[in-house]
Amino acid sequence: MRVALLGAAPAAFIAVPPPTSPDALAYAASRWASAFEEHLSGLLFRERYRQAADSGLELGVRLQVAPRTLTDFEANVFLIRVPGRDGFIVYRDVYRAGSQDVTDHTDRLQELLAANTADAFAQARRLTDASARFNTGSVTRNVNTPTMPFAYLTPENIGRLRLTDAGTDTINGVAVNVVAFDEVARPTLVRGERGADVPVSGRYWIDPLTGAVPRAVVEFQTAGGYKGRLDVRLTQDERLKTWVPQQMSEVWESRGSNASGIARYDRFTRVSVSTDEIVKWTMAIIGRSRA
């Protein structure tokens, strides 16, 4: 960034260094996150997800490991602003698990998206929870969405975090600063069984010149001993002129069971939020993915 010094003849320019302190970087990233949300609203895209899980059963002093389970599924993910709420909400609807179509897919979609009202938040939660039944492993979860780590960067939530400098890195040839964070506010954004707090920690890779966050990692740990980690990478979609999810990886650990997954995203499109259009788009993408 350059700033003109008025009154100089001719006008002189001085270079303004980008922010380097964790607080300043997080403030820039928070402003970017607000624009990121705005650009994502009304975006619909495909998720191709592979999950793996293994489990063990203690027999005496030996651990008998069960065969590893692999699950592939495809889903529609779309994002929308809801009247009366800050930010946007995420709809995820699984339409294929393995080689089998999900038979109640269209009925669920039509039922839960009957109207674009403030009640859409509750509808989205039910839809996401219904799709969560396809998750592999013993950890019940619905936080494994590609926008989840960025929720802590919004202006409403950035104050929940304690921030520290974690050095520098390079992503796609761009020098970035790494900021580590710990959620210190209570109650926490993510809740566990019986409403228990699930504080998070993680890291943001922040471009100091633009505030963009091309990578985010968030880690969970519950009082019951469950651990989880999400690692989300973004890319710029040249056609839509916006940042979009590129890949999400996850790792979950619990007593006697581990699960992991990797999701990739493509076929980004903007739609007006109506049941008819979303169902039409859904059926079209199902047909294309069979090819």
Would the pLDDT of 153 be above 50?
yes
Q: What is the pLDDT of residue 125?
A: 58
| DSSP string for the chain | -EEEETT-SSPEEEEPPPP-SHHHHHHHHHHHHHHHHHHHTTEEEEEEEEEEEEEEEEETTEEEEPPPEEEEEEEEEEEEE-TTSSSEEEEEEEEEETTEE-TTHHHHHHHHTS--STTHHHHHHHHHHHHGGG--SS---S---TTGGGGGGSTTTGGGEEEEEEEEEEETTEEEEEEEEEE-SSS-SSB-GGG-B--EEEEEEE-TTT---SEEEEEEE-TTS-EEEEEEEEEEETTTTEEEEEEEEEEEEETTEEEEEEEEEEEEEE----HHHHHHHHHHHHHHHH-
Q: What is the pLDDT of residue 57?
A: 44
User: Around Cβ 223, how many Cβ atoms within 10 Å?
Assistant: 10
* Span 125-145, pLDDT tens digits: 565 555 555 555 445 556 778
Domain spans in the chain, listed from the N-terminal domain onward: 17-290
Instruction: Compute the CA torsion angle 66, 61, 221, 149 (nearest 10 deg).
Output: -30
Would the pLDDT of 187 be above 60?
yes
Going by pLDDT thresholds of 50, 70 and 90, the confidence category of residue 252 is confident
**106: β partners:** none
Q: What is the pLDDT of residue 89?
A: 66
Would the pLDDT of 166 be above 90?
yes
Using alpha carbons, list the distances in angstroms from residue 185 to 54, 181, 216, 287. Answer: 34, 12, 20, 46
- What is the average pLDDT value for the chain, to the nearest integer? 77
* Span 82-140, pLDDT tens digits: 555 555 567 777 888 877 877 665 565 555 555 444 555 565 556 555 555 555 544 55
Could you give the percent of the chain with pLDDT greater than 70? 65
Contact 29, 207 (CB under 8 A): no
* Mean pLDDT, rounded, for 49-57: 74
* Span 2-29, pLDDT tens digits: 333 344 444 455 566 787 899 999 999 9
Could you give the percent of the chain with pLDDT greater than 90? 36
Going by pLDDT thresholds of 50, 70 and 90, the confidence category of residue 203 is very high
Distance separating alpha carbons of residues 56 and 41, to the nearest angstrom: 42
Would the pLDDT of 194 be above 50?
yes
* Span 206-229, pLDDT tens digits: 999 999 999 999 999 887 778 899
Distance separating alpha carbons of residues 124 and 128, to the nearest angstrom: 6
**Prediction pTM value:** 0.78
